[in-house]
Structure 1
Amino acid sequence: MQNTLKGWMADNTVTTDNKDDKILLLESAGSVNIEDIYKEMEEEGTGLKRETLVHVVMLFLRVVARFILNGYNVNTGLFRAVAQFTGVIESGRWNPEKNSVYVSFIQDKMIREEIAQTTVNILGMKADVMYILETEDRKTKLKDGSATAGRNFFVRGAMLKVMGDDPAVGVTLTAEDDTVTKLEDDEIAINKPSELTLLLPATLTAGTYTLTVTTQYSHGARQLLKEPRSVSTTIYIGGKPGGGEEERPGEL
């Protein structure tokens, strides 16, 4: 499979004084699951039966998970993985309601080599594109997705203004157990197309959340979209696990 990424140019809302400043947004090729991977492996012509491929892959995944969750720093060539802890330890005891285990993945040699062989095709300008460019924890000033419960959280992007009467419109936080918390209207302190300032509920426990902005806002707000659209990003209440080790993305 030839490595090819496609992207659309969009205005960079950070540099509002420079109308020629653009960013590139990935054009999604869709989603694949483990069955798609098995099919692709079969097309490599390995001569192995499907049941053999399934057995080997699942065995590999189980062994990797076992090593990680026994405290090993695992290097597969594709990625490095290590377990991390989140939450504050109180009274010297582990509390599953406040503490959790998180696995940090960092790209390794194999994926960097594949990145070096990847072609990028620019498809042109994309109008009225909705995206999240960056976030900031207003308490810590960190821009790595860290967030603090009960404090302000800044989101910068495009077409983010929360508008519309569809029940789905709003800002939600989805925990790893699929529990959804929807912000009240007055918890969206600043509501602009290019930026939101959110007051995160103080009741949120430490962990990883998916922050989703759903709106019917369209350019100029002259007419609302018939159907709402959404954009999501991952945030970490209580700080990004392994935040001291910065992941450095590969360069093309």
Structure 2
Amino acid sequence: MKHTLKGWLADNAVTADNKTDKILLLESAGSMNLEDLLQEMFEANTGLQPETLRHVVELYHRIVKNAVLRGVQVNTGLFYAVAKFVGVVEGGKWNPEKNSIYVALTQGQEMREEIAQTSVSILGTKANVMYILETEDRKSGRKDGSATAGKNLFVRGAMLKVVGDDPSVGVTLTDRQDTITKIDPDDITINKPSELTLLLPTNLAEGEYTLTVTTQYSASKVPLKTPRSASTMVYIGGKDAGSEDEEGKLPGEV
């Protein structure tokens, strides 16, 4: 099956002095959760009933999860999954307040082969588009989505300046249980269209969060009537994405 990803050209906010420098932003085709995936599987006319499909998928999830969390490096073809330890172990003792377990997922051979067959369609130039290009954990200097509770997080992008009186305006962090933490406006220590510096709350538990910036800022200086948002994933406690060699394998894999 041939795939096509669509994208919009936008000014690269990081190189403000170069007016011809562009980046390509993905045109979103929406989002899907487990229920959506199960429905699409059923509509593929496999001959299996919805409850059977659900049972198989949930069983698959449970087997993969249990294998990874007993130390198995799982290779499904679509992705690799392996458990990693995060944090310095002081005094030879595991401290849940400073140490954590992170499961690294990297693309597998099947996904890489599909990517190689995927074409890109450029839709044109999109002016005044809002986006998050990258984040940087000021404590570690890492730009892979890592973040540290109680420390500064630098956010680069375009049209990010947090302004407006709509109640939704601001910066939020949403964990995997959909618990939302809103950053105090006073903790947005640098607030510019192309960059934000955020002092993260000290009480954030380690794990995966969706960082969302919502603003009424516009290049015309006239506030937008309807706020708009941009989001990215951050990982409190650090992200250990694993490392692939040139063959795309994880360390120790043959």
- Partner amino acid for 1:9? L
Count of aligned pairs: 247
CA distance in 1, matches of 2:29, 2:43: 19
Q: Counterpart of 1:123?
A: 123
Report the alpha carbon displacement of residue 51 of structure 1 after superposing the two structures with TM.
Answer: 4.2
C-alpha change, 1:40 and 1:90, in structure 2 (3 Å) is same
2:104/2:241 contact within 8 Å kept: no
Q: Counterpart of 2:74?
A: 74
C-alpha change, 1:219 and 1:246, in structure 2 (3 Å) is farther
- Does residue 1:239 correspond to 2:242, yes or no? no
CA distance in 2, matches of 1:151, 1:36: 37
Secondary structure of the structure 2 residue equivalent to 1:6: strand
CA deviation digits over 1:207-238, x for unaligned, max 9? Answer: 322221110111132x1111111111111222
Secondary structure of the structure 2 residue equivalent to 1:114: helix
CA RMSD of aligned residues (A): 2.6
Secondary structure of the structure 2 residue equivalent to 1:220: coil
Q: Counterpart of 1:160?
A: 160
Between 28-37 and 3-12, the greater mean CA deviation after superposition: 28-37
CA distance in 2, matches of 1:168, 1:227: 10
Q: Counterpart of 1:65?
A: 65
C-alpha change, 1:44 and 1:203, in structure 2 (3 Å) is closer
CA distance in 2, matches of 1:180, 1:152: 19
TM-score scaled by length of structure 1: 0.86
TM-score scaled by length of structure 2: 0.85
1:174/1:181 contact within 8 Å kept: yes
CA distance in 2, matches of 1:199, 1:114: 40
1:88/1:98 contact within 8 Å kept: yes
Report the alpha carbon displacement of residue 22 of structure 1 after superposing the two structures with TM.
Answer: 0.8
Q: Counterpart of 1:169?
A: 169
Gapped regions of structure 1 (runs ≥ 5): none
Report the alpha carbon displacement of residue 35 of structure 1 after superposing the two structures with TM.
Answer: 4.1
CA distance in 1, matches of 2:201, 2:51: 48
Report the alpha carbon displacement of residue 39 of structure 1 after superposing the two structures with TM.
Answer: 4.3
C-alpha change, 1:51 and 1:148, in structure 2 (3 Å) is closer
C-alpha change, 1:99 and 1:179, in structure 2 (3 Å) is farther
1:139/1:151 contact within 8 Å kept: yes
Between 72-81 and 14-23, the greater mean CA deviation after superposition: 14-23
CA distance in 2, matches of 1:17, 1:119: 31
- Partner amino acid for 1:133? L
CA distance in 1, matches of 2:245, 2:126: 29
CA deviation digits over 1:151-193, x for unaligned, max 9? Answer: 2221110000000011111112223343332222221111110
C-alpha change, 1:160 and 1:71, in structure 2 (3 Å) is same
CA distance in 2, matches of 1:182, 1:29: 28
CA deviation digits over 1:114-142, x for unaligned, max 9? Answer: 11111211111112211000111222221
CA deviation digits over 1:66-119, x for unaligned, max 9? Answer: 211222110000001112344566776666666544322110000011111112
1:216/1:229 contact within 8 Å kept: yes
- Partner amino acid for 2:228? R
Q: Counterpart of 2:225?
A: 226
Gapped regions of structure 2 (runs ≥ 5): 249-254
Between 201-210 and 150-159, the greater mean CA deviation after superposition: 201-210
